[in-house]
Chain A
Amino acid sequence: MKNSFDEKILEEASDWVQANQKVVLATVIQTWGSSPRQVGSRMIVNEKGDFSGSVSGGCVESAVVRECVGLIKDKKPSKKIEFKVSNESAWEVGLACGGEIAVYLEQIN
C-alpha cells in the first residue's frame, strides 16, 4: 500500500531548492494497462540531470530526466509527457511492460 506520508521525495525537493538548485517535479498522473509505478509516484530532477525517486521501473527515467533538464533550459513552468509502447521513443527507452504512462513535469519556483 502506498503511504504518501512516509515518502520523502518532496522534502528532498525542498532541500535541493534551498541548496540553490533548479528542481523539476515529475509525477505519474495516469497509467493504462500494466505499469510499474502507481499514479502519484514521483521523481525530482535538477538542472544537472541528477535525479531521485522514480516514475517507472527504470524504463523511462532517462527520457524523463532529458525532458526535465529541457524544461529548465527553456524556462517553461510545466509540461505533460506520455510514454506509449507503440511510440518509437518509448521502445528506445523501453517501456517493456506494455503499459502506458502520463507524467506531469513542473518546475518548483
Chain B
Amino acid sequence: MKFKTLQEIIKKKSFKKEFAILTNLKNGETEIFEPGRSLSKEFQNYQNQVENFFKKKKNGVIENTDIFIESYIRPIKVIIIGAVHIAQYLVDFAKSLNFEILIIDPRGYFATSQRFPDLKIINKWPEEAFKEIETSESSALIALTHDPKIDDPALKHALNKKFYYIGALGSKKTHENRCQRLKEAGFSDDQIKSIHGPIGIKLGGKSAPEIALSIVAQLVSETYKK
C-alpha cells in the first residue's frame, strides 16, 4: 500500500463516511471505494461485485477474484429512552460493543452530562428529538422509562420506521397495557409482537447492571439475526 493511500484512508475515517478499501491481492494495488462512485481502470471490471459486497457490510475476498474488500460501515444506532440508572450500565456495555448510543429524556434532572459523560443526550420529548436523529431499519430502540407519555411516542416512531430491535422495560402487566394502547393507536398485532417486552433475555438478575446485561445480550443476539 502506498503511504499516500494510507493517509487518504485515515482522512476518510475521520469524516466517518462509509467507504471501503479494495486491494488486488495479485499485484498489491489499493483503491478507496465510495458508494455511487466509479472505480479506476485497475478495479472497474469489479464495479458491480464491489457494490454488492459493500451492501452486505462485510469484509472479505470477492468470490472467484483476487480482490479483498474491507468495509467501513457506521456502527448501529441504539436509541435509549430514559436516562435512568439501567441506562448508565447499558451505555458502558454498549460502548465496548461498538454501538452508537443516543439517549432521549425530556426530564432534565435525569439527563445530565454528569451522569452520562461523553454521550449525546437529547433533552427533549421523543417526538421532537426524533426530528434531529436519522433513523432506519438498522436502528435499535430501548425504552426504559415505562412512562407511556415518554415511551409510547418513541415506540410508535420505531415501529413506523421498522427498527430491527425494539425493547421496552416493564412488567408483563405494564407490557399488556402498552400493547393495548398501541393497538388502539392502529398498530397491527405483528407490529406489536415485534416489541421485546418485558425486555431482555432471562438471566434471573434484578440489579440495574444485571438488567442492562440481559438487554444488551438480547440486542446483540438480534443484531446477528438481522
Contact = CB atoms under 8 A, between A and B. Distances in A.
Contacts of B98: 1-3, 6
A17 B10 CA distance: 14
Majority-rule SS of A interface residues: mixed
Interface in B1-49: 1-3, 6-7, 9-10, 13, 16, 23, 25, 28
Interface of B: 1-3, 6-7, 9-10, 13, 16, 23, 25, 28, 58-61, 68, 70-76, 97-99, 220, 223
Interface in A1-42: 1-6, 10-11, 13-14, 17, 25, 27, 29-30, 38-40
A30 B72 contact: no
Given A104-B23, A109-B3, A3 B60 contact: no
Given A29-B68, A106-B1, A108-B6, A5 B59 contact: no
Contact of B23 (A3, A4, A106): A106
A27 B68 contact: yes
Contacts of A77: 28
Contact of A104 (B6, B68, B75, B220): B68
Contacts of B59: 2, 38-40
Given A1-B76, A5-B75, A11-B10, A104 B70 contact: no
Given A27-B23, A38-B59, A109-B2, 7 more contacts: A4-B13, A4-B72, A11-B10, A14-B7, A39-B59, A40-B71, A104-B68
